[in-house]
Amino acid sequence: MTQILKTKVLIIGAGTGGYVAGIRCGQLGLDTVLVDGSDGLGGTCLNVGCIPSKAIIHAASKFETVAKAAGDGTLGITASEPAIDLSKTVEWKDGIVRKLNNGVAALLKKAKVKVIKGWATFQDAKTCRVETEDGPITITAEHVILATGSEPVELPFLPFGGDVISSTEALSLDAVPGKLVVVGGGYIGLELGIAYRKLGAQVAIVEMAERILPLYDKALTDPVMKWLTDHGVEMHLGARAGGFGDGKLSITTKDGEPLSLEANKVLVTVGRRPRTAGWGLENMGVAMAGPFVKIDDRCATSMKNVWAVGDLTGEPMLAHKGSAQGEVVAEIIAGHDKRFDPVTIAAVCFTEPEIVSAGLGPLDVAGRDDVITSFFPLAAIGRALAIEAGEDGGFVRVLASKSDHRILGVQAVGQHVAELSNSFAQMLEMGAVLEDVAGVIHVHPTLGEAFHEASLRALGHAIHI
């Protein structure tokens, strides 16, 4: 027998967009049902993306630190040759994920959101059927928030399975592969490839573009490329991957030559696509923008009272964008006058070293003569040198308007610069000018001083260079 359920708000997907929308709806007193068919609350980010990948990256960096201390030692510290039991590392990572899963569940419960575990299929824009362990449920709602997220892109000639893996499987291996080939030189492939190189794997990167991280300018990616080269990562740029068999991946090099790369695992990270299939999107009558659901600045679709947030709505496909959209939609449904119109959405690559970008970069202002561009090297920052973060060519860069000194963009590359991203975004969102950053007394000794000094340099009077 099918259970019938009616609600004010129905949310599909419990990722960072969906669960945040649910909590905010609950806080605003809206009767809310959240349906999720994944293995855990929190979606891709919490379960198989942002959080577990950063845990593995952290463990890999710890392992590398101990490995450096073996032999001649480092910083006066010596240690025995380290060993890694990756299954225990993964177990530790899974513990973090479970703790966060439970935390999200508790927050939803506190907000009085009804969570239904099961796969939803829409018959029309406001009605869906959910298959659960206890039987089917038909849910009708006044408002529907679509937050189905995204999934890895699969190459037809390299289907996932066996030793061909996506980032999901790469985060749950029980042993470090002897030889890992990463297909795709974007941030996901590089983050995981670098982590496994630190753990001792021989790593090769195959990227179709002429350089890694092609969406970023060369000045930002050069320090990452230097790390890869210095640590023996085999680079095949301008190359195309082919099939995999008998432990070898076929590729075509930049020069058109065929080549076979030995691999215990092939990690395919060529991008992600919105999860639009399998839940009845075609029955909802919403307009599309290419592969994405089309929305306006209220996150409203073309169907009245149907909203969409997160990766389903287009680039940038970032967790914090989905969360912000989820809050906006909840408040609009509650009657508030809100818009999703951020000045910037900062992005971070957790490579070695890390890259941060907020606002406009050099590629966006190429050819313009009305922009000031200012660099400040981390090598001139005491805190950076004290934590070995100033020796990899890292810097902070500020772009500003010549006429009124309005900050247009801020980028950084270097160890630990991810923690500067919120400061960059905040200044851009507030419409700060160079004098605003220059006038803030920055704490010493911190990496944030580089932002201060870059702004001072743009004004013509940096102190420490």
What residues are annotated to the active site? Answer: 444
Rounded Cα distance, 346 and 363, in Å? 16
What tokens were used for 387?
């934590």
Tokens 């959080």 found at: 51
108/129 Cα distance (integer angstroms): 22
* CA–CA separation, 196 and 322 (whole Å): 29
CB neighbour list of residue 381: distance below 8 Å, 6 or more residues apart: 390, 445, 447, 449, 450, 453, 464
Instruction: Please state, in angstroms and rounded to a whole number, the distance separating the CA atoms of residues 137 and 130.
Output: 5
**Amino acid symbol at 121:** T
Pull the structure tokens for residue 67.
């490995």
Burial of 4-14, coded b for 16+ CB within 10 Å and e otherwise, reads eeebebbbbbb
Which two tokens mark 35? 């349906």
d(CA 57, CA 348): 14
